[in-house]
């Protein structure tokens, strides 16, 4: 077996970038050399505690990234974001941060690299920033970054990238209520993905079409597109996509009044999200379960899951999920006839929101 294949990812990464740093030692200042030593130490010596948070577990990579940026080693810094973590995590570091909902850390990393390495790296950063701001509910910023990404993909004739840009912009149109425009962009994306025989992009476009048809209330088309995407996601072993699609299926069956089927899909979503620590997926699954149990008049379970949803959503800053969880509390207490408790909770949440907004 190759010696390098037995190294932990961080030490393997160091072995790959060390020759480049050695070349930079010539006439290097003490400050630069100190940053080089820090990179080596963070990648080869750092050991997180056993019960550390996910962020602390990758702290060595993030610190090494920042030290490389301090000496303008931008290309080497970009390599750190691409490292695949151990313990059977197939995602690259920067994508895993998104799954873990460390959005502010991601924003810092991407903005540091913009206009420093290459047009391709810029494109990837713009797409990732668009995804983050879309999740955070900042539609204007998301649209700006997606637009920049689309312009680059068309300039460099990157059809796969264009397919991603089209579906991303279509998702924003969906959120703005422009469903026909969204469907048109998603169908363009689907056509490109099928021509390229890119299953990942095809699945992404199918999921987006399902979302748009759901917004239009066309449940048959919605389920058809969601199930097609789920099949592709399972074939690709894409846990993140499966979590999203299972949540979507839970939503559509709840809208149709089939609450037990909705619970079934939400429980599958929860199981997979727990497996790879997808905080956003966990919050989503708890929200779906809370809603379904509410409609079944099982208010104890509805409250239990809504509490879990809001707790996680607050921790990761997902305002939409916080809002839906709080609305569910109000609905439950109102249904129970506890009007005073509803008013008190709404007042507490108003104070909480004002503190968050600095008022």
Q: Is the distance from CB of 234 to CB of 200 less than 8 angstroms? A: no
Confidence check: pLDDT of 358 > 60: no
Listed by start position, the domains of the chain span 1-102, 118-218
What's the pLDDT tens digit per position in 320-344? 888 888 889 888 888 888 655 655 5
What mean pLDDT is predicted for residues 251-268? 97
Per-residue buried b or exposed e for 231-267, using 16+ beta carbons within 10 Å of the residue's own CB: ebbeeeebbbbbbbbbbbbbbbbbeeeebebbbbbbe
- The secondary structure of 61-113 as a DSSP string is HHHHHHHHHHTT-HHHHHHHHTPBPSTT--SBHHHHHHHTT-HHHHHHHHHHH
Residue 6, pLDDT score: 42
Number of Cβ atoms within 10 Å of the Cβ of 268: 19
What mean pLDDT is predicted for residues 262-270? 98
| 3-class SS of residue 181 | helix
What's the pLDDT tens digit per position in 167-206? 999 999 999 999 999 999 999 999 999 999 999 999 999 9
The number of angstroms, rounded, from the C-alpha of 256 to the middle of its chain's C-alpha atoms is 28
Q: What is the mean pLDDT of the chain?
A: 90
Confidence check: pLDDT of 5 > 50: no
Residue 356, pLDDT score: 46
Per-residue buried b or exposed e for 24-35, using 16+ beta carbons within 10 Å of the residue's own CB: eeeeeeeebeeb
Residue 353, pLDDT score: 52
Confidence check: pLDDT of 221 > 50: yes
What mean pLDDT is predicted for residues 64-79? 96
Report the alpha-carbon distance of residue 205 to residue 241 in Å, rounded: 12
Residue 51, pLDDT score: 86
Residue 336, pLDDT score: 83
Confidence check: pLDDT of 257 > 90: yes
What's the pLDDT tens digit per position in 100-152? 889 999 999 999 999 999 999 999 999 999 999 999 989 999 999 999 999 99
Residue 351, pLDDT score: 47
Confidence check: pLDDT of 86 > 90: no
In 3D space, the residue among 359, 356, 329 whose CA is nearest the CA of residue 344 turns out to be 329
12/185: higher pLDDT: 185
Contacts of 302 (CB under 8 A, 6+ apart): 290, 291, 293, 294, 328, 332
What's the pLDDT tens digit per position in 271-324? 999 998 889 999 999 999 999 999 999 999 999 999 999 999 998 888 888 888
Residue 1, pLDDT score: 34
Confidence check: pLDDT of 87 > 70: no
Q: Given pLDDT bands bounded at 50, 70 and 90, which one contains residue 2?
A: very low
212's tokens = 């748009």
CATH superfamily assigned to domain 118-218: Tetratricopeptide repeat domain (1.25.40.10)
């Amino acid at each position: 077996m190759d010696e390098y294949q037995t190294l932990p990812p961080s030490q393997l990464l160091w072995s790959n970038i060390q020759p480049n740093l050695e070349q930079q030692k010539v006439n290097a200042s003490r400050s630069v050399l100190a940053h080089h030593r820090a990179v080596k130490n963070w990648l080869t010596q750092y050991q997180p505690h056993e019960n550390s948070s996910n962020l602390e577990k990758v702290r060595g990579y993030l610190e090494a990234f920042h030290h490389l940026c301090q000496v303008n080693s931008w290309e080497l810094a970009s390599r750190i974001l691409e490292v695949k973590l151990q313990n059977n995590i197939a995602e690259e570091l920067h994508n895993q941060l998104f799954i873990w909902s460390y959005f502010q850390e991601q924003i810092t990393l991407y903005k540091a690299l913009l206009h420093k390495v290459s047009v391709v790296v810029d494109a990837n950063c713009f797409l990732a920033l668009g995804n983050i701001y879309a999740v955070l509910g900042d539609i204007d910023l998301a649209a700006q970054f997606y637009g920049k990404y689309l312009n680059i993909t068309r300039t460099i004739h990157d059809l796969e990238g264009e397919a991603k840009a089209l579906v991303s912009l279509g998702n924003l149109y969906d959120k703005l209520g422009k469903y026909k425009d969204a469907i048109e962009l998603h169908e363009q994306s689907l056509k490109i993905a099928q021509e390229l025989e890119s299953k990942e992009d095809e699945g992404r476009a199918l999921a987006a079409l399902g979302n748009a048809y759901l917004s239009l209330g066309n449940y048959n088309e919605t389920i058809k597109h969601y199930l097609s995407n789920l099949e592709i996601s399972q074939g690709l072993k894409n846990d993140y996509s499966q979590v999203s699609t299972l949540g979507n299926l839970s939503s559509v069956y709840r809208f149709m009044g089939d609450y037990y089927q909705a619970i079934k899909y939400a429980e599958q979503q929860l199981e997979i999200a727990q497996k790879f620590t997808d905080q956003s997926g966990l919050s989503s699954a708890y929200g779906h379960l809370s809603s379904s149990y509410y409609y079944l008049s099982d208010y104890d379970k509805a409250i239990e899951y809504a509490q879990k949803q809001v707790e996680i959503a607050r921790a990761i800053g997902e305002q939409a999920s916080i809002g839906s969880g709080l609305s569910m509390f109000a609905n439950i207490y109102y249904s129970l006839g506890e009007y005073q408790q509803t008013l008190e909770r709404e007042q507490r949440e108003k104070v909480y929101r004002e503190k968050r907004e600095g008022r």
